[in-house]
Structure 1
Amino acid sequence: MSSSNQKLSVLEKVGYSLGDLAANLVFQTLVTWISYYYLNIFGLKPEHASMLTLIVGLVAAFAFNPVMGAVADRTKSRWGRFRPWILWTAVPLGVVSLLAFKTPAFSYQGKVIYAVITYALLLLLYAANNLPYSALSGVITGDMKERNSIGAYRFVAVMFAQFFVQVFMYNFIIKAGGGDSVEAKAIGISKVMTVLAIIGTVMLVICFLTTKERVIPKPEQRSSLKEDLADLFKNRPWIIMLVVTTLVFITLAMKGGSYVYYFENYVDKTELSNFLAPFKKFLPTFESDTALGLGVFNGGGILVGLVGIMLSQKFANKYGKRNVFMTSLFISTLFIDFFYFFPPKSIGVIFGAQVLHGFFYGISTPILWTMIADVADYSEWKNNRRATAIIFSAMMVGLKAGLSIGSSLVSWILGTYDYVANSTIGQTDRAIRGTKMLVSIYPAIPFLIAVGLLFFYKINKKMEVQIESDLKERRK
């Protein structure tokens, strides 16, 4: 491998981070709203919404992503291997993300077909954009401290996207549509997604223009797809990170997609209104206590999560990524479990637990992605061949599979607990109990399994230093 100066300017770090800000305007919408959109706005039955998100999502995860990884690794252009894909997919991704949240006046069968097609196209284009974008972090620099730094920049941007989607989007949907009826919400989400699509497209173009690929394979490096795949399945850290990523995003999709049901059906409305009284003075534009409560709840966790992200690089440099990731993930899981025990009137405790969960999860957030770049280095170190994008396909396969399984579980579990969308007489005790389980016990399980798997991930601090030193010497 050849490489030039490995230090990055602030401009390039910010420019790179805008790519994830753009992608997460789409991704965070899927994590937080796709189940609610298909059930409560688009009008699908729980079983159909569950099967749609599961089957289409798993096909996207296990078909689109490995193919995209192989194609990106073999792309040759004057802009590099990965940057061109960020540019080529910017406009199509924006257009399809808008179409996926349109509610056409079709028959029920027509709606199902429309949802399958647009959801599949959205996941395909997201893979074609975000997998090369993620792989770019593995070749933008070979310096692991610089990678930790761009990881922190990147996930501050992710948190901004998450903050908008989880704090303001529900309220904006109601305001843009002119009410909280099903028809008004359909109009509102379409208007909001139009604006997000335009902003996201511009940010992806800026990302392309401000970044550079520095870790470049030697011209004599040759490997077939068969060799790359063989390297993958002999790479135990890659296998572990594939499973860990899947488990993490199952949890994120489950709890993220369930909070709106938790606030609509479980949290005591009178106590919530009293708790929110100070916030209403500063946030008078929110249309309802549910919208404001959901916004403040998510916003508190995200803002404190930013503090965790800013501390993440310091901890990772000192103690190693694996140890910090494992510890912070475990502690954050405890605060998810605690939600099972909170009564509906304990509003202050509910919000406090979310803030503490957000802080500890924030520490783990950028580390997950930089660990994949380390796995790419590990593969090169072991095999003397670099296949960055196909290594990063682990992250994208895990992300898509986790999103699909988690979103599908939200719809399926709600149906199992007899939830009725847009019910005018309220939900049964059984349905309300299901919403409580969906933000506590069920999402905690994948996180705990992921923590256990990380005990078998062998790239610790000592090995990180050794790999970085050896590869720098080879690249000379």
Structure 2
Amino acid sequence: MQPAPTPDRLPLREYLGYALGDTASNLFFQTFNIFLTYYYVDVWGIPAAALLLMFPLVRLWDAVNDPIMGIVADRTRSRWGKFRPYLLWGAVPYGVCGYLMFAGPDLSAQGKIVYAYVTYTLMLMAYTVINVPYSSLLGVISPSSRTRTVASSFRFVGAFGGGLLISMFVRPLVKELGGDNETLGFQYTMAIFGALSIAMFWITFATTKERVTPPPQQKTNVLGELRELVRNGPWLALLLATIFSTTFIALRSGSTLFYFKYCVGDTGAPVWLGRFDASTLFLASGMASMMLGTLCLGVFARRIDKKPLAIWLTTGTAIAYAAFYFLPTDNFALLLTVNALGTFCMGPTSALVWAMYADVADYGEWKFSRRSTGLIYSASLFALKTGIMVGGFVLPWFLDFYGFVPNITQTPRALEGILLAFSLGAGAFAGLKALALVIYPLNQREVDRVERELRERRGEPAVAV
């Protein structure tokens, strides 16, 4: 007989329901990482140079909104808790705005740029409204650090599952639904993913609970909370790690289609791929490797502390990605193998870092006697989107600086730029993430002590660790 679920051992349906929220998030997040630059430049015809200004401006505005949303969520009072209501009411705007980004109306060149600015801004604001509370939910789903690590591993299996769906089915669906019209294909495909994301967020709302509340005597003070945040050393270390993490992910994912279209050549893919082109199989196998790595997290975490485990895994990803600069592009099996090694290491690292943020929320409550879960997670999303902003800027810069011109045979210089972005550039930012994790000060022994003392303050029973 299985033990009854408790705040320290959640029911399986809650783990699965929580995971679906990140599947919904990644139906668009991974689309932005993998396809957005390609869609804007190669499909819809926006000049790459225009993105050099648009991406930083829109993403900077979006990043600034995250802490504001975190402060709002921390002050929310409802019968559903602080964070869950936003999953209910934010799902429809999220799905609709995501679809509108890829609606592809027939506009003038200037009109397309304006439309891209408006719809991208609205989508990222909708993403903030729903994803800051969703991420913060991990910090209150259980008072147990180990239980939150399990929930985080489920979450990232869901996240990479969403990425796998995007990797495997976007290009085939675009071809199937749009035929020779890629713009129409993207329009129909993203309408499907928008509807799926709405349903998934509603399931997450229905299956999860909030179990950790702020101290009863806690007083809200925005300036005080912000001061405590910048004095929270573990959070500052994770801030740097998250910026570097999403920078290398955005740079790597965004350059993948360019790498295969112009450096490898999908037309030269092995015949056994069938209807899937080389880039689709490459992306899908990478997502599958991330899922496999995340599923192995429990085995790893029982033997190795979160901090050194995250450092070594991130270093493995950095080495694997940088190695692509030296790999022959005509050996598809070798490309798949090295990528699988890098993504296998990356999967558990993402889950570990987001579980660390929950530990940081505990640490903040322990040190300052004030719990600001929403602010901590929203500030982490600020870092995440800052990294996306940097990665989103760096890729168009590589394309523009090295003389990329869409849909022609590229010059050796342009090919070099694509290769650098895909390999050494991505690997370098992954290495910087590993260095940031080195300075993260909390180990499991300290986390257990903080958790134990917080339980004593709250009058909660101790649990075995």
Give your verdict on TM over 0.5: yes
CA 1:383–1:314 in 2, change beyond 3 Å: closer, same or farther?
A: farther
The correspondence of residues 200-211 of structure 1 with structure 2, limited to 5 A, is 200-211=197-208
- Alpha-carbon distance in structure 2 between the residues aligned to 1:300 and 1:257: 16
CA 1:58–1:171 in 2, change beyond 3 Å: closer, same or farther?
A: same
The correspondence of residues 77-476 of structure 1 with structure 2, limited to 5 A, is 77-179=78-180, 184-267=181-264, 272-273=268-269, 276-280=270-274, 285-286=275-276, 292-423=277-408, 426-476=409-459
How far 1:20 moved relative to its partner?
0.8
- Alpha-carbon distance in structure 2 between the residues aligned to 1:66 and 1:362: 26
How far 1:269 moved relative to its partner?
5.6
- Alpha-carbon distance in structure 1 between the residues aligned to 2:348 and 2:106: 45
Are the counterparts in 1 of residues 99 and 194 from structure 2 also a CA contact under 8 Å? yes
- Alpha-carbon distance in structure 1 between the residues aligned to 2:433 and 2:286: 21
Segments of 5+ residues of structure 1 without an aligned counterpart are 287-291
Are the counterparts in 2 of residues 241 and 394 from structure 1 also a CA contact under 8 Å? no
CA 1:5–1:150 in 2, change beyond 3 Å: closer, same or farther?
A: closer
- Alpha-carbon distance in structure 2 between the residues aligned to 1:278 and 1:387: 53
- Alpha-carbon distance in structure 1 between the residues aligned to 2:265 and 2:239: 39
Root-mean-square deviation (CA), in Å? Answer: 1.4
Count of aligned pairs between the two proteins: 454
Are the counterparts in 2 of residues 34 and 407 from structure 1 also a CA contact under 8 Å? no
How far 1:268 moved relative to its partner?
5.2
- Alpha-carbon distance in structure 2 between the residues aligned to 1:317 and 1:121: 42
- Alpha-carbon distance in structure 2 between the residues aligned to 1:323 and 1:146: 20
How far 1:55 moved relative to its partner?
1.2
**Normalised by the size of structure 2, how large is the TM-score?**
0.95
SS at 1:439's partner residue?
A: helix
How far 1:96 moved relative to its partner?
0.5
User: Residue in 1 aligned with 2:57?
Assistant: 55
Partner deviation per Cα, 1:371-428 (whole Å, 9 max, x = no partner): 11111111011111100010001221111111121122111211111111123xx111
Q: Percent identity?
A: 34
Whichever residue aligns with residue 377 of structure 2, its letter is F
How far 1:37 moved relative to its partner?
1.1
The correspondence of residues 40-51 of structure 1 with structure 2, limited to 5 A, is 40-51=42-53
- Alpha-carbon distance in structure 2 between the residues aligned to 1:77 and 1:422: 53
Whichever residue aligns with residue 83 of structure 2, its letter is F
- Alpha-carbon distance in structure 1 between the residues aligned to 2:170 and 2:154: 23
SS at 1:468's partner residue?
A: helix
1:23 pairs with 10, 22, 25, which one?
Answer: 25
Segments of 5+ residues of structure 2 without an aligned counterpart are 1-5, 460-465
